[in-house]
Amino acid sequence: MISTTHGLILAAVLFALGLTGLLARRDVIFVLMSIEIMMNAAGLAFVVAGARWGRPDGQVMFLFILATAAAEVSVGLALILALFRRARTLDVDAANRMRG
Amino acid sequence: MQDLLWLVPGLPLLGFLVLSLAGGRLSRPAMAAVGTGSVGASAMVATLVALGFHEPFRQVLWEWMRVGEFAPTIGFRLDALSLVMILVITWVGFLIHAYSCAFMAGDAGYRRFFAIMNLFVAAMLTLVLADNLLFLYLGWEGVGLCSYLLIGFWYQDPANGRAARKAFIVTRVGDTAFAIGLFFLIAQVGTLDIEEAMTRAGSISAATAAALLLGGAVGKSAQIPLQVWLPDAMAGPTPVSALIHAATMVTAGVYLIARTQALFALAPVVQTMVAVIGAATLLLGGIGALAQRDIKRVLAYSTMSQIGLMFLALGLGAWPAAIFHFMTHAFFKALLFLAAGSVTLSLHHEHDIFRMGGLWKSLPISFATFLIGAASLSGMPFVTAGFFSKESILGSAWERGVGWWSVALVGVLLTSLYIFRVVFIVFFGEAKTSVAPRRDVLLTLPMVALAILALVGGWIPIPVGVFEPHVGVASVVSMAGIVIAWSLRAPLAFPGVDFDGLYERAFVRPFLRLANAVGRDPADAVSFGPAWAAATAHRLASATQTGSLRWYAAGIVFGGVVLLAVVLWW
C-alpha cells in the first residue's frame, strides 16, 4: 500500500519536472511533451485523492484528463506543423513576431 | 414699393443659399445666371425703392432677441445716405458680377466664387441698411469673412492663404475696437438703435465711443495704422479686388463714420483725428503707389489714398462730400480694376507694369476705359465724375483752413502722378510682350457701362447734398501731375514705406516670443499630466508583450503561484 503522501509527492515532482521542461526547453515538441507530463501529474493527484477516500470520482476525472490530453495533442501537433511550415524551425523563440 | 426693401439684401442672400446648397446640380451658365441675376434683381429692387423714396423710413422684419430693455431687431432703415450706398453697391456689384462670368470662366471654383460674391454683397447691403448697430455689426463681420474667403480664393498657393489671413487678422484688430465700442454704447446709452443712440449721445462721453468706432472704421477701410492688409489683398481674383475696393468692404468705414457723425460731432478731438488719419493715409498711399511695379498694387495703394481723402472730408465734417466721392470712386475704381483685369488676362496674367508697353493699339477698349478711369481718378475738369467729388471735398477743406486744403492738394497731385505714370508705362512706349487679346462681350460691356458712369456720374443728383462744380487750383495741379508723370516713366528706386517690416518687428515677433514663453507654463501640467501617465503606463504594459512563448508561460506560472499563496495564507 502506497501512502497518500508519497503519491502526492510523486505527482508534485512530476508536475515540477514538466513545468521545468516547459520553461526551459526551446524545441516545441519537447514543450508539448512537458505539458503532457504536467497533465498526467495532475491526473495522478486525482487518482491518489480518489484512493484516499475510496471513491470513484478521482478515476473519472483521470479519464476526463486523458480525453482532454488526446484533444490537446491533436491540436498541438497541428499547430506545430503550421509553425514548421511558416518558420522552417521547431524553435518556439522563433515565433515571436507578435511583440508589443 | 417701399415694402420691397428687405429684398435688396435678401436676393443676394438667396443667391448665396441656392448656389451653396443646390449649386452642385446646376450647369455652369446656370451658376453664373443665379449669381449675377440675384445681384441684378437686387439692383432693380433698389432702383424701384429709390424711385418711390420720399422720406426716411424703417422696415422691421422681426425682433432679433430681447434681454431686458435691450432688444435689437432685424430691421432696415432707408434714408438718403443708405439709399446712395445701396444703389452704388448693387449696380456696381452687378456689373462686376457680369464681368466675372467671363473673367472666371474655366475656373474650377466657379460656383464657390459666385456663392461668396453674393454673400459679400448681401453682407454689405445688410451693413448699410441695418437700423441698429448690432445688425450692422453682423453685416460688418460678414463682409470681413467674405473678404477672407475671396482673397484666399486660390488657396492652393500658400501665399494667397497668407494674404487672406493677414487681411482677416489686421481688420480683426479694428473690429475688436468696434465691438468694445458697441459694449460701451450699450452700457452708456442702453440701446444700439442708431437713431435713438445718436439722439441720446449727448449725455455720455462721446469721445470714447467715437474713438472706438473710429478704430473699427480704420481697420475696415485700410487707413493708417491698419492699412497693411490692403496691398496683399490683391492676391484674390481681379473682380474680387474691384468689389472690395469699389462697392464693398473698404467703404464700410466711411459709411460707419458718416452714419454716426452725430457722435463724432460731439467729440471734436476724435473728429480731428479722423481728418489727420485721412490726410496721412492720403499722402502715404499716394507715395506708396508710386513705388509699385504690380498694376493691381498701384490701384490698391490708390484706393487707400482715396479712402484717406474721404476720411479727410469726414473729419472736416463734410460727410455729404465724402459720400459723393465714395460714389464716383466706386465707378472709376471698379472701372480701373476691370480694365486692369482685362489687360492682365490678355497678357497671360502678367502684372508687372514694366513688362507691358504700347498696349494702346492692341487693346483699344482696355486702353480707352483705363484712360477714362485714370482721368476720373485724377479729376479732369467737367468731363469726369471724379472732378465734381474732388472739388467738393477741396471746397470744404478750404473752408476749414488752408492747411487741410494744401494737404488735399498734394494728394491730388500725387494721384494724377501715379495713375498717369501707369497709363504711360502700360499703354505707351514700345511693346514688350506678346498680346493675346481676350474679346468677350461680358468683359467689355461692364467696362463700357462703368466708363460712362465714371464720365457722367458727377451729374447724378444724389439726395445727400447739392454740389456746385467750379474749376479751381486742383484741376491745374492734377494737369501738372500728368505732365510730371510723363517724365517719370522709369522704375523708381525708393521702396515706399515699409510698414510690413515695421509691424513684423514691433508686433509679430514679440508676440511669437511671448506665445512661446507662456506656451510651457506649469498650469499645463493639469492637462498634460494624465496624458503623460497614460502614455507611460502604455509603454510599460507594452514592454511585457515580448512575443516569447516561454515568458508568457512563466508569467502564467508566477501568477498561479501568487494566487495560490494568497488563497492558502490569507
The pLDDT, as a whole number, for residue A39 is 93
ipTM summary value: 0.83
B354 pLDDT band, cuts 50/70/90, is: confident
B125 pLDDT band, cuts 50/70/90, is: very high
The pLDDT, as a whole number, for residue B527 is 82
- The answer to whether B407 touches B479, Cβ cutoff 8 Å, is no
**Nearest to B373, CA basis, from B415, B339, B414:** B339
What does the alpha-carbon distance between residue B347 and residue B296 come to, in Å, rounded to a whole number? 14
What does the alpha-carbon distance between residue B490 and residue B303 come to, in Å, rounded to a whole number? 23
What does the alpha-carbon distance between residue B271 and residue B446 come to, in Å, rounded to a whole number? 38
Interface test with B, best of A34, A38, A93, A97 (most B CBs within 10 A): A93
The pLDDT, as a whole number, for residue A99 is 67
Instruction: Check CB contact under 8 Å for B554 and A23.
Output: yes
Residue with cell 521702396: B495
What does the alpha-carbon distance between residue B76 and residue B45 come to, in Å, rounded to a whole number? 15
Q: pLDDT digit string (tens) for B268-306? A: 888 888 899 999 999 888 888 888 888 888 888 899 899
Say if residue B494's pLDDT is above 70: no
Residues of chain B positioned with their CB less than 8 A from the CB of A23 = 550, 553-554, 557
Burial classification of residue B107, based on how many CB atoms lie within 10 Å of its CB (0-12 exposed, 13-18 middle, 19 or more buried): middle
Picking from B541, B545, B550, the nearest residue to A23 by CB comes out as B550
Kindly identify which residue of chain B lies nearest to residue A35, measuring between CA atoms. Answer: B553
Instruction: Choose the weakest-confidence range: A71-85, B2-16, B42-56, B504-518.
Output: B504-518
B465 pLDDT band, cuts 50/70/90, is: low
Instruction: Check CB contact under 8 Å for B550 and A93.
Output: yes
Say if residue B168's pLDDT is above 70: yes
Neighbour-count burial for A69-98, b at 16+ CB within 10 Å, e otherwise: beeeeeebeeebeebeeeeeebebeebeee
What does the alpha-carbon distance between residue A49 and residue B516 come to, in Å, rounded to a whole number? 74
Q: pLDDT digit string (tens) for B404-416? A: 888 888 888 888 8
B553 and chain A in contact, CB less than 8 A: yes
Burial classification of residue B123, based on how many CB atoms lie within 10 Å of its CB (0-12 exposed, 13-18 middle, 19 or more buried): buried
What does the alpha-carbon distance between residue B428 and residue B489 come to, in Å, rounded to a whole number? 10
Say if residue B226's pLDDT is above 90: no
Q: What does B222-260 look like in DSSP terms, one character per residue?
A: T-TTS-THHHHGGGS-HHHHHIIIIISTTHHHHHHHHHT
Interface test with B, best of A22, A30, A31 (most B CBs within 10 A): A22
Q: Which of B17-21, B223-227, B376-380 has the highest mean pLDDT?
A: B17-21
In A, residues 8-37, which contact B (CB 8 Å cutoff)? Answer: 19, 22-23, 26, 31
The pLDDT, as a whole number, for residue B466 is 65
Instruction: Check CB contact under 8 Å for A97 and B547.
Output: yes
Average pLDDT value over all residues in chain B: 85
The pLDDT, as a whole number, for residue B496 is 61
Picking from B544, B549, B554, the nearest residue to A95 by CB comes out as B549
Average pLDDT over residues A49-77: 92
Angle at B296 between CA B292 and CA B299, to 5 degrees: 80
The pLDDT, as a whole number, for residue B464 is 67
State the SS3 of B334-349.
HHHHHHHHHHHHHCCC
The pLDDT, as a whole number, for residue A73 is 92
The pLDDT, as a whole number, for residue B208 is 84
Residue type, A69: A
Query: Is the bond preceding B72 in cis, omega lying within 30 degrees of 0?
Result: no
Average pLDDT over residues B102-111: 84
Residue B126: its H or E element = helix B110-129
The pLDDT, as a whole number, for residue B355 is 81
Q: pLDDT digit string (tens) for B86-103? A: 898 999 999 999 998 888
Average pLDDT over residues B7-20: 90
What does the alpha-carbon distance between residue B512 and residue A9 come to, in Å, rounded to a whole number? 76
Say if residue B230's pLDDT is above 90: no
HSE-CB at B570 with a 13 A cutoff on CA atoms is 6
The pLDDT, as a whole number, for residue A100 is 59
**Looking at CA atoms only, how far is residue B547 from chain A in angstroms?**
4
Query: Which residue(s) pair with B352 in the sheet?
Result: B294
- The answer to whether B442 touches B98, Cβ cutoff 8 Å, is yes
B244 pLDDT band, cuts 50/70/90, is: confident
Average pLDDT over residues B153-173: 89
Residues of chain B positioned with their CB less than 8 A from the CB of A92 = 548-550
Q: Which residue has the higher pLDDT, B437 or B245?
A: B245
| B330 grid coordinates | 466706386
Instruction: Tell me the CA end-to-end span of chain A in Å, nearest whole number.
Output: 53
B123 pLDDT band, cuts 50/70/90, is: very high
Average pLDDT value over all residues in chain A: 89
Q: pLDDT digit string (tens) for B311-352? A: 999 888 888 888 888 888 999 899 999 999 888 888 877 788
Q: Which residue has the higher pLDDT, B369 or B486?
A: B369
The pLDDT, as a whole number, for residue B525 is 76
The pLDDT, as a whole number, for residue B497 is 65
The pLDDT, as a whole number, for residue A90 is 86
What does the alpha-carbon distance between residue A34 and residue A25 come to, in Å, rounded to a whole number? 9
Residues of chain B positioned with their CB less than 8 A from the CB of A31 = 549
Largest CA distance in chain B: 115
Say if residue B64's pLDDT is above 90: no
Picking from B541, B547, B553, the nearest residue to A98 by CB comes out as B547
Say if residue A46's pLDDT is above 90: yes
Q: Which of helix, strand or coil describes residue B401?
A: coil
**Nearest to B91, CA basis, from B33, B44, B140:** B44
Instruction: Check CB contact under 8 Å for B553 and A22.
Output: yes
Q: Which residue has the higher pLDDT, B489 or B76?
A: B76
The pLDDT, as a whole number, for residue A63 is 94
The pLDDT, as a whole number, for residue B71 is 80
Instruction: Check CB contact under 8 Å for B545 and A100.
Output: yes
B562 pLDDT band, cuts 50/70/90, is: very high
Residues of chain B positioned with their CB less than 8 A from the CB of A19 = 557
